[in-house]
Amino acid sequence: MAESTAQATAQTTAPWASRKSTAMLVLADGTVIEGHGLGATGAASAEVCFNTALTGYEEILTDPSYAGQIVTFTFPHIGNVGTNAEDIEDLNPAARAGAVGAIFKADITNPSNFRAATHFDEWLKRRGVIAMSGIDTRALTALIREKGVPNAVIAHAPDGVFDVAALKKQAAEWPGLVGLDLAKEVTSGQSSVWTETPWVWNEGYGEQAVPTMHVVAIDYGVKRNILRLLAGLGAKVTVVPAKTSADDILAMKPDGVFLSNGPGDPAATGEYAVPVIRELIKAEIPVFGICLGHQMLALALGGRTVKMHQGHHGANHPVKDHTTGKVEIVSMNHGFAVDGESLPDGVEETHVSLFDGSNCGLRLVGKPVFSVQHHPEASPGPQDSHYLFRRFANLVRERQGEPALAER
């Protein structure tokens, strides 16, 4: 760690000097950062990233795309609106798919929101998420920006007793996310039908009763609000496990196929997913991918993916849609990206990040196939990109001979 960063991080221990440190973040390079333990106890190995969203910590921590990661929140006050049963994003909360750890600047305060049902600290315990506060999250974020996402171990021991040497060894030996297929760890165990529609103020979630299309969603770690938006546009959504074969999917006679978000290295998951995606493309069925689904679609079309220096995690990322010329503010959560220059002829780049120019979308020219890197469902974040779900629905409706929906 750079000396200035180490000093800035060390300063955060001052507020906790009057009480014993009960948590540690131990980086693979041997750096030890102490703080106050929250949530579950124990130790977990993972990659440390930072998220710049101001709201939506419950959705963030339950997003299966964060499996194998510790989330550092740059917003200082996390947890003060409590938690509830409506904002969970993973399909099976019992599986605890999502982040293994969380880092905050300030202690969690008592909840002050009319939707709060459970104190955030208690929720972290129930979810098995190890957390810590009292950290200079600005310094840690600067470290990540400078050196890239580090492998680490986050540990919480209420008695403040740690085997530091063992934690350093554990952090140094964790192999990281490259080459790691995590989709198989978070995917659904069996097929199911999703009918819940988006949340409406003073009404809650609705129910899709009269579907006009059938969408098969391949679950690599799908978020609930993606499924809700599909159902809200008239789709009966059949969710299938990540390793479902193309023959089994086609036997369901879908009007469209959705490739979901998810964690881990797309090249690793792609070993079994890419051949399936190629068969679905050959079947001339509309295909829409998000995040990991976008990356694996790119692989299926002949592109390649790369590990990013720090990744994109937040709800304030500007992306330009070349098909409309408009700039939208979007939610992102990815540590791998499609190499735009690797896309072959016949595959068009449709979206690009205005932060770093990285690829954020593609379409297969002449085919009803497209995908985006960002999360158009948001949750949390702005709804600028909700039109992409209508774009997908219109590809299905065109195939059905039905009139198009307005995208905006």
Residues identified as active-site: 291, 375, 377
| Angle, CA of 41, 46 and 51, to the nearest 5° | 95
Nearest to 231 by CA among 258, 250, 261, 252: 258
Residue 320 pairs in a beta bridge with 327, 352
Give first-to-last CA distance, the chain, whole Å: 47
Q: Residue 331 corresponds to which tokens in the numbers above?
A: 């939610």
- In this structure, the dihedral spanned by the alpha carbons of residues 134, 137, 140 and 142, taken in order and rounded to 10 degrees, is -150
Distance CA 385, CA 331 (A): 9
Quick check: 228 and 196 in contact, CB under 8 A?
A: yes
Cα 318 to Cα 224, 360, 381, 395: the distances in Å are: 24, 10, 12, 26
**CA-only gyration radius of the chain, Å:** 21
- In this structure, the dihedral spanned by the alpha carbons of residues 394, 400, 404 and 405, taken in order and rounded to 10 degrees, is -60
SS3 30: coil
Residue 238 pairs in a beta bridge with 193, 216
Write the CB contacts of 359 (distance below 8 Å, at least 6 apart in sequence).
Answer: 298, 337, 338, 339, 340, 343, 349, 351, 352, 353, 373
Q: Residue 305 corresponds to which tokens in the numbers above?
A: 């993916």
